[in-house]
Amino acid sequence: MIIAPATAADARAIGIVHVLAWHETYRGIVPDDVLASLNPAARAERWHRVITTEGGVFVLRDGARLLGFAAAGPNRDDALPQQGEIYTLYLLGEAQRHGHGRRLMAAMAGNLRDREITSAALWVASANTAACRFYDHLGGTVIGARTEQRGTWTLPCVAYGWDDLAGLLRFSA
């Protein structure tokens, strides 16, 4: 399996993986009607725009098949003091617990460092305990909490931060 920067041609597969990963990850956390309404084509359109205008998106491939993706860039959240932000990291269940998440985190940390961004943070659903354990294992520190209002439902979240991406790179290796 390889990790590589995403290209515009990956957007369709990323949209599909994004929706599948949400179904695998958030069943029981997010309302069923929200999961049922997810649209791979709409996600693909969004990811095409991100890939072609912002960059910082990486994919996990097994041959021609996409099994995961991740994205990072400058911090967009004034509530977090870190310079960078891990926007998203999703792996299909079959690709989890094989080190691919750590490799994707390392790719993002390296990309941020190449952009002279030396720290990063992310938000994760509090009920996503597997992801919280993963970020703990990578040396992340809980630096905040909030409840996001998403239409008619809410999602409690916690923020993890790394004040030095060199530390994240060490944990991800």
- Please write down the HEC assignment for all residues of the chain: CEEEECCHHHHHHHHHHHHHHHHHHHECCECHHHHHHCCHHHHHHHHHHHHHHCCCEEEEEECCEEEEEEEEEECCCCCCCCCEEEEEEEECHHHCCCCHHHHHHHHHHHHHHHCCCCCEEEEEECCCHHHHHHHHHCCCEEEEEEEEEECCEEEEEEEEEECCHHHHHHHHC
Q: What integer pLDDT is reported at residue 40 of this predicted model?
A: 97
pLDDT in tens, the chain (173 residues): 899 999 999 999 999 999 999 999 999 999 999 999 999 999 999 999 999 999 999 999 999 899 999 999 999 999 899 999 999 999 998 888 888 999 999 999 999 999 999 999 999 999 999 999 999 999 999 999 999 998 889 999 999 999 999 888 876 66
Q: What is the pTM of this model?
A: 0.93
Q: What integer pLDDT is reported at residue 172 of this predicted model?
A: 66
Q: What integer pLDDT is reported at residue 70 of this predicted model?
A: 97
Query: Which domains can be identified in the chain, with CATH numbers?
Result: 2-172 (3.40.630.30)
